[in-house]
Chain A
Amino acid sequence: MKEMLKYGFILGLICFLASAVLSVVNAVTEPQIKLQKETEENLALKEVMPEALNFKPKFEGEKVIYYTAYNNVGEINGFIVKAEGKGYSFVIEAMAGLNPKLEITNVKILSQNETPGLGNRIMKDSFLSQFKGKGLDSFNQVQAITGATISSRAVINSIGNKISELKNQLLEELQHGR
């Protein structure tokens, strides 16, 4: 019994010290990590819609459901939506810019974990540039990559679904903005 208490105490002490060290490290790195995430997101936003100046996130609870992009005179330039689809190995996160006609201006893959050399070719421009100018009715013209059908389909479908899901909301916002 006495031994057990002693062991428990030693282990507890080690855990306490470890958590103390970790809380210090966390305090130091947390703002930096947040900053990295924000710059990453901002870069991605700029990339899918280079002509817009400001982006305003639309929240639903804690989660951002889409961004509204404004130009330099404060008019709505379009929207940016984030889509998630199940790829071959993991969830693929993509970001798509939409003009006011809800046609795609650009697509960027935010995160993916597909097979290097096969599935991760969805990151290539030759695939992503196909999305430009596509609307809800012309989505089926986007060609999947040979040998990476599942990954390509995941991107195409997730973006398509997201747009049709948000369509009414976005159109409403457009009228509201004008």
Chain B
Amino acid sequence: MKSLIKEFTKGIAIENPTFGLVLGLCPTLAVSTSLINAIGMGVAATFVLLGSNIIISAVRRLIPAQIRIPCFIVIIATFVTINELMMKAFFPALNQALGIFVPLIVVNCIVLGRAEAFACKRPVLDSIFDALGMGVGFTLALCIIAAVREVLGAGTFLGFGLVKGFEPITVFILAPGALLTMGILIGIVNYWHIKLKTSKEITKAGCDGCK
């Protein structure tokens, strides 16, 4: 049980896909213009991650190592398509807001990364917790970036106006704002990690030390 919790929390904190592993930045930068989009994208990606992790870890012994990548892609693409069809049928507004980034979850490196690095080597239960942790971590990171951008760039929070007379800083809604916000947030997270490490006085040598 303890190890399962560890698999879950690592995705949120140390190995956070956005701030720790710095994976899947394209959708992160593109859809984090408003908080509601960020939540939608996070949930969609978590669904795909969960589905692909479960299936891949369940059939991991049947897939020969030489053709594992095409197999992973087919499985991931299947879940993305299910996701897209469901969204179109039941949440058309969200589908329109996320646009091209829903089908593009296929090439989101977080999903393939978890399949390759985790699900194809570990049992189903571990993979479920890994997927949930990564999904929640990705969603949280997206939400933090989106909240900063929406508040500064549009003067709203979840679509509600905040302060009257506040002239929004439009650049935060645009692409440069995404890079600025993310850079600063990654900086803060890294600073916090380093501080945490030195306070525990854990010093590791070699490649493991500079993760």
Question: In the complex where A7-B64, A33-B89 touch, is A113 in contact with B75 (Cβ < 8 A)?
Answer: no
Q: Is B90 an interface residue (CB 8 A)?
A: yes
Q: Is the interface of A mostly helix, strand, loop or mixed?
A: helix
Select which of B74, B88, B174 is within 8 A of A15 by beta carbon.
Answer: B74
Select which of B64, B71, B78, B168 is within 8 A of A117 by beta carbon.
Answer: B168
Which B97-112 residues have a C-beta within 8 angstroms of A? 99
Kindly list chain B residues whose C-beta atoms are within 8 Å of the C-beta of A33: 85, 88-89
Q: Is A111 an interface residue (CB 8 A)?
A: yes
Kindly list chain A residues whose C-beta atoms are within 8 Å of the C-beta of B173: 115-117
Q: Is the interface of B mostly helix, strand, loop or mixed?
A: helix
Indicate if the CB atoms of B89 and A32 lie closer than 8 Å: yes
Q: Interface 1/0s, chain B 30-41, versus A by CB < 8 A?
A: 000110000000
Task: Across the interface, name the chain A residue whose C-beta is closest to B77.
Answer: A18
Q: Is B196 an interface residue (CB 8 A)?
A: no
Question: In the complex where A10-B63, A25-B86, A33-B85 touch, is A115 in contact with B174 (Cβ < 8 A)?
Answer: yes
Complex Cα spacing A25 to B70, Å: 22
Looking at chain B, what size class is its interface with the partner chain? Answer: 20 to 34
How near does chain A come to B140, taking the closest CB pair, in angstroms?
A: 22
Indicate if the CB atoms of A32 and B66 lie closer than 8 Å: no
The interface size of chain A toward B, counting residues with CB under 8 Å, comes to: 22
Indicate if the CB atoms of A25 and B67 lie closer than 8 Å: no
Question: In the complex where A29-B85, A33-B89, A40-B92 touch, is A18 in contact with B168 (Cβ < 8 A)?
Answer: no
Complex Cα spacing A175 to B82, Å: 49
Complex Cα spacing A7 to B34, Å: 44
Complex A-B: 12 CB contacts under 8 Å: A7-B66, A10-B64, A11-B71, A14-B71, A14-B74, A18-B75, A36-B88, A36-B89, A116-B154, A116-B173, A117-B153, A117-B173
User: Shortest 7 CB-CB distances between A and B: which pairs?
Assistant: A32-B89, A29-B89, A18-B78, A117-B173, A29-B85, A7-B67, A36-B92
